[in-house]
Amino acid sequence: MSQNRADQKLRVLMTGAAGTVGTALWSAWEAENRYQLTLVDLREIEGATSTCNQGDIRDCDQMETLCQNQDVLVHLAYVRHQDFTRLPEELTDIGTSMLLFEIARQAGVRKIVYASTNHVTGWNERLAQPADSSWMGIPPKFSTAEQFRPDGWYGAMKGMAEIAGRYLVDAHDLRFISIRIGSFNGTSEPSGIRHCSTLLTPRDCAQLFARAVDYHGAVKYLITYGTSGNTDGYQLGFMDIHPAVEILGYRPQDNLIKTHRHLFD
């Protein structure tokens, strides 16, 4: 951020703002009067007092306009597909993300905070479970930032976007922070034993993404998992949040293993 804006609120453009994660973020940030927010989604964004836009992130002209005079892009939107082999002319999520990243860069955005997913390493969980069983509390391989082991095209494309972020940092000196969200249901209540390890509660989500938006330290490229502080000192969550804690200063307030694990015994 330039010196002449040091005493002003960061200008933040958020895609996917009508979604569950987006609503949790802007609701908390508006309550704190934290940023100058511009929100965009395909759907109407209900209840926000920030500048709201209804539109498609695949609309390059609209996104070029929205990216002007923004400091940070918080990219939450995901382009869903049923079977992209049947519609090869349509942009997939990774194609859309690459276009948006480049549009943002050309418009002068200096940081991208990206909502990624634990599915980038979802195969770690499959390896821990018999093929015919559901989650039974057997800890999968510990998933860390340098691992890429997707369990489908969703995770693969999210991982590809993280690699695109690496390019932006190296070639154009942008900042790129990817948060691989474990689980998010918009509440602080886990729906099963797995959530006791993977759930990111709304208040922890708002804090974590704000830490990413605000961070201006030495690290310019960062991947971390996004969960609450789910450990009891013996049982640990299996997604690595240490980069968020140690680099971003994330201090999760919720701990589902301590507060809810016993409900699923």
Question: What confidence score (pLDDT) does residue 3 get?
Answer: 42
118 neighbors 180 (Cβ within 8 angstroms) = yes
How much is the mean pLDDT over the chain? 92
- Average the pLDDT over each of 6-15, 88-97, 134-143 and give the range with the smallest value: 134-143
Residues 83, 86, 92, 95: is their CA dihedral positive or negative?
A: positive
Instruction: Find the mean pLDDT for residues 115-136.
Output: 79
- Specify the CATH superfamily of domain 3-264: NAD(P)-binding Rossmann-like Domain (3.40.50.720)
User: Is the whole-model pTM more than 0.85?
Assistant: yes
d(CA 43, CA 49): 16
- pLDDT grade, residue 1 (50/70/90)? very low
